[in-house]
Amino acid sequence: MYLLFGCGDIGFALANKLRENEEEVQIIEKDEEKVKQLKEIGFEAFQGDFTETGDIEKTDIKKAEVVLVLASDSEVIEKTLGAINQLKLDLEISPIVVARATDSILEPEIRSLGADDVIVVSEVFAEYIYDRFQEFRERIKERQLRGLLTDLEGKLAIVLQDNPDPDSIASGLALQAYAERFGIESDLVYSGRIGHQQNRALVNTLNAQMIRAEEVDFEEYSAYALVDVATHGNCSLPEKIKPTIIIDHHSAISGRAEAEYEDIVKVGATATLVTNYMKYAETEIDEPLATALVFAILTDTMNFTRGATHLDFKTLEYLLPLISNELLQKFQSPPLSADTLEVIRKAIRSSRVKGGYLISNVGEVKDRDAIAQAADYLLRREGALTTLIYGIESDSVYISGRTTDVRLHIGKLMKELYEDIGSAGGHPTSGGGRIPLDAFDASKDNKKALRGAIDRAVGRKFWKTVGALKSER
């Protein structure tokens, strides 16, 4: 039961909110007329001076789990907390006591008087307004994008990042649906691979019509939107073509392209931004697309453990009533192919761990995306904080790194280690790389020598850099 001391504007709004959520509420208020009004609208209210123990005992104080002191006058708060402290001793009760403060300077003093928590109204209001401004910003950005698309004549190329992931795919599909709302025809264009089972499940389930960049004549389009990417270097749009639209959540990027419309915000996922376009344009989001957008947000924020913001939470809250839980489960746990299971088996068998750092050379693979899945899987192994799995596909070595170690930025580390002989990079918790076989000092025909050279240049170099080989010195 919640017991409110005082019922001004804040108290009344809070009492209503608690009642809406079917919480038991009692109110003690000095103003007799206000008490009468509260009773008329169904509240259990008592007239009295809550600085006096006798008046407080008119309520069911013994049942109260939370007591909220909502007076603004510091002297009244001090006397009220004194009365509550006395009743705690006399009645042997221990409710949580929350008091209001008009300024953060008063917070330590109010806590010392017995309040378990203090709400500084000005700070709460400021945080609320700031969070609302984020939402206002997205509403404004949607209006700007709508204006641009309304004036557009011709077809839009929605260009996804190379090797598109769930966030890129779902965001591209959502932007396509949004553009269609204003009569704009568009194509989803990508380069690289859609290899991971999760990505394939997303594309197949949503029946996404995605076109490989090699099959596209970019000159046929009137406008170009980069989605989940902001540089020419990470997508298939030719350097000579300036994008019309950029929508991305990777805000700090060197070599970023410029566009007529830009929405580049440091949120957890690009899907968050595009969902809000659809929300404010009152564009219907069907169940499969809503589920894909939720999956994208969960994936890119690692289930809200990486880079999630207030806007991501609010967007997820908006989408959840629209999704299929069964479909979400299918996206999160798609069937594994026999080839992937074989790579995971080899990764387990050849894995070695030193100081929490696990490395594994899986040799030749048919599908390099299985290497990334093996890196994910082996991160569950007891004692492993970081995994580095590598193997050969065609004429290159592909590397995947994963970590739960907050001290380590695996993407940056992999770039530092391997960019001199190949390419690598990634996020704080996941990274990838590719090194051509020609970079290794061993013949391709001598598989044993080649495996040793790869282990030295990839696995042991990683161990040496993170200090896992110190014990061998």
Kindly report the CATH number assigned to the domain that includes residue 306: 3.90.1640.10
- How far, in Å, CA of 433 to CA of 421, rounded? 10
188 with 237, same domain: the answer is yes
Phi, psi of 269 (to 5 degrees): -155, 150
Domain count, the chain: 3
- How far, in Å, CA of 258 to CA of 296, rounded? 25
Residue that the structure tokens 């290794």 belong to: 440
349 with 304, same domain: the answer is no
Task: Count other Cβ atoms within 10 Å, centred on residue 24.
Answer: 14
Structure tokens at 95: 């409710």
On the 0-12 / 13-18 / 19+ scale of CB atoms within 10 A, 287 is exposed
99 with 207, same domain: the answer is no
Structure tokens at 329: 């489960």
188 with 328, same domain: the answer is yes
Q: For the packed helices 197-205 and 287-300, what is the interaxial angle rounded to 10 degrees?
A: 160
- How far, in Å, CA of 265 to CA of 263, rounded? 6
Runs of H (alpha helix) within 320-368: 325-332, 338-349
239 domain-assigned: yes
β 352-354/261-264 pair status = unpaired
Q: List for the chain the helix, strand, coil content (%; round to 5).
A: 45, 20, 35
120 domain-assigned: no
374 with 461, same domain: the answer is yes
On the 0-12 / 13-18 / 19+ scale of CB atoms within 10 A, 74 is middle
What SS3 state is found at 39?
helix
Q: Are 374 and 393 in contact (CB under 8 A)?
A: no
Q: Residue 276: which H helix or E strand, with range? A: helix 270-280
Per-residue pLDDT of the chain (473 residues; tens, 9 = 90+): 999 999 988 899 999 999 999 999 999 999 999 999 999 999 999 999 999 999 999 999 999 999 999 998 989 999 999 999 999 999 999 999 999 998 889 999 999 999 999 999 888 888 888 777 878 888 999 999 999 999 999 999 999 999 899 999 999 999 999 999 999 999 999 998 887 788 888 999 999 999 999 999 999 999 999 999 999 988 999 999 999 999 999 765 567 899 999 999 989 999 999 999 999 999 999 999 999 999 999 999 988 887 899 899 999 999 999 999 999 999 988 888 899 999 999 999 999 999 999 999 999 999 898 999 999 999 999 999 999 999 999 999 999 999 989 889 998 999 999 999 999 988 788 899 999 999 998 777 788 999 999 999 999 999 999 998 864 44
319 domain-assigned: yes
313 with 370, same domain: the answer is no
109 with 199, same domain: the answer is no
On the 0-12 / 13-18 / 19+ scale of CB atoms within 10 A, 317 is exposed
Residue that the structure tokens 């000092």 belong to: 441
Locate the DSSP E strands across 365-463. 386-393, 396-403, 423-426, 430-436
307 with 352, same domain: the answer is no
231 with 311, same domain: the answer is yes
122 domain-assigned: no
Q: Are 10 and 98 in contact (CB under 8 A)?
A: no
166 with 265, same domain: the answer is yes
Q: For the packed helices 270-280 and 121-150, what is the interaxial angle rounded to 10 degrees?
A: 80
Q: Which residues pair with 117 in a beta bridge?
A: 98
- How far, in Å, CA of 35 to CA of 58, rounded? 14
Structural domain including 106 reads: 2-115
pLDDT at 130: 79
- How far, in Å, CA of 271 to CA of 291, rounded? 11
- CATH number of the domain bearing residue 42: 3.40.50.720
Amino acid found at 32? E
The last residue of a domain, from among 273, 307, 332: 332
Structure tokens at 407: 């001290």
pLDDT at 471: 47
CA atoms within 13 A on the CB side of 103: 5
- How far, in Å, CA of 446 to CA of 24, rounded? 77
The last residue of a domain, from among 287, 315, 332: 332
DSSP-derived letter for residue 334 is: P
pLDDT at 197: 82
392 with 413, same domain: the answer is yes
The last residue of a domain, from among 307, 332, 357: 332
- How far, in Å, CA of 310 to CA of 317, rounded? 11
Task: Count other Cβ atoms within 10 Å, centred on residue 461.
Answer: 16
β 245-248/223-227 pair status = parallel
